[in-house]
Amino acid sequence: MLGRAVWRQRHTGIAYRIREQQRMQHSNVLQTLRTRKLVQAVTSEEMAKRVERPVAVYCGVDPTASSLHLGNMVTLMALLHFHLAGHRAIPVVGSATGMIGDPSGRSTERAVLEAQELAHNISGIEAQLQRFFARGAEYAAGRVQGLDTAMLQEVQVLRNGDWYSGMGVLEFLGSVGRHARIGTMMARDSVRTRMQSEQGISFTEFSYQLLQAYDFWYLYQHHGCRIQVGGSDQWGNITAGTDLIHRMCNTTGQADTEAAYGLTIPLLTTASGAKFGKSAGNAVWLDEQRTSAFDVYQFFVRTADSDVERQLKQLTLLPLERIAQTMAEHTRAPERFAAQRLLAAEVTELLHGAAGVRQAQCATEVLFGEGPSEAGEYQLTAEDFAQAFAGDRRMVAVTRAQVAELEIDALAVLTGACTSKSEAARLARGGGLYWNGRAVSDSKWKPRADNGDFVGGGTIGVIRTGKANHRMVRVVD
């Protein structure tokens, strides 16, 4: 009897803790998003009541490239907040809609992707979404008070091609098209803007909103999804979905079922108001093979003072109190870039893990500090450096035998720091040629790997010309 009583008490306590965590997590997620500047608009304020209990929330991304970028990240952060609050997050890869192309926010029609390229993009983004939420949970564990990651619901990445594969055009028009109103479709900003342009809009892109609307309806029916989140340029597509759900429920005798809601997120923009993304030509990719951890870190270190507080709220999970403290410190001493360095470290860790931050900070110290050393704030190792610049054209590998024969002018040409030895000589005479942070006046000076001229265990040398043109030499056996 005693054993049974202990068992009951223990499991009752566990159940109580689970209920308390769920209550704590589910409450105020919409308010959290608002305080973090992650809400542009909602279709109804009733959504605030709906998120007080578990709900499925989805966000879709089309595979128009092999990687997501920072423009996508701000929307994924909103979905991550729902996930951490105990709701079910459903990221959807547009394996079907990616063949059509969303006209929202575009002045021209998207290029048609070949089947092989589309398949490559789908698999890449699918893996990236899974990695983002896995790393997001790890990152959140040390920043969200009271969070038990073991209690979070599983994130299942879906492909919308799975529910279109067996559907013909007549079935789609009969079940979805009959509920669409041409006047409403033409009034949407994405369509109206293109209609007024010289190029116009094709029927293919005009019908995109119906496909995204059907995605919401399918997820509503089969996955219990009640909320869609997207960028502010997705408002028309999202409301097309809520409208379709309302009409379909009425038609099928489900008028008393739950409402569907939409939430849009402000687009991530530069200080000048320019949109981030591949179309804008300033994409920072979430794939480390396309944008390294070092380049992500450097991008955010250069954030304008006017943007840094907003981005700390939107792109990190730091407590608001910590953000306020950092901004107060930044106001007192802006030349230290405390807020930018914190933002850079947090976003880099979220995207690339703690190892990525270490590599980025290490490389930053080497390239932009007083000069690389073996005993800086971030202990430099050859492996860290190699990983930080893996695939980067600024780093050139040379053998020990080669290094023994090359003067610095030849190394400058080999790495691309100079176009010729004569340029290297001219820079050296003028004080503009540096090796590991020290000015080199003799262009025929020969760095040696065995006497301390290289750091990182005698394997790393950094050539700098001017203020910010860096090239790296890595010695390999």
pTM (2 d.p.) = 0.84
d(CA 253, CA 395): 65
Residue 277: predicted pLDDT: 60
Q: Is 466 exposed, middle or buried (0-12, 13-18, 19+ CB in 10 A)?
A: exposed
**pLDDT, tens digit, 9 for 90 and up, residues 202-224:** 778 888 889 999 999 999 999 99
Residue 276 in contact with residue 303, Cβ under 8 Å? no
Contacts of 359 (CB under 8 A, 6+ apart): 293, 294, 384, 385, 387, 388
Q: Residue range 429-454: average pLDDT?
A: 91
For 122, the 3-state DSSP assignment is helix
- Contacts by 341-346 with C-beta closer than 8 Å and gap 24+? 341/301, 342/312, 342/318, 343/300, 343/303, 343/308, 343/311, 343/312, 343/315, 343/316, 344/296, 344/297, 344/298, 344/299, 344/300, 344/301, 344/303, 345/297, 346/312, 346/315, 346/316, 346/317, 346/318
pLDDT exceeds cutoff 90 at 125: yes
Of the pLDDT bands very low, low, confident and very high (cuts 50, 70, 90), residue 108 is low
Residue 186: predicted pLDDT: 77
d(CA 382, CA 385): 5
When mean pLDDT is compared across 1-10, 388-397, 420-429, 464-473, the lowest value belongs to 1-10
Percent above pLDDT 70 for the chain: 87
Residue 68: predicted pLDDT: 95
> CA geometry: angle at 102 spanning 97 and 105, to 5°?
160
d(CA 269, CA 285): 15
Q: How many CA atoms are closer than 13 Å to the CA of 95, on its beta-carbon side? A: 19
Residue 9: predicted pLDDT: 52
Q: Residue range 133-159: average pLDDT?
A: 93
Residue 2: predicted pLDDT: 45
Question: Which H or E run includes 137?
Answer: helix 115-141
Residue 95: predicted pLDDT: 93
Beta bridge partners of 433: 465
Which segment, 98-112, 144-158, 382-396, is predicted with the most confidence on average? 144-158
**pLDDT, tens digit, 9 for 90 and up, residues 63-89:** 999 999 999 999 999 999 999 999 999
Of the pLDDT bands very low, low, confident and very high (cuts 50, 70, 90), residue 23 is very low
d(CA 409, CA 124): 42
Query: How far apart are the two ends of the chain, measured CA to CA in Å?
Result: 71
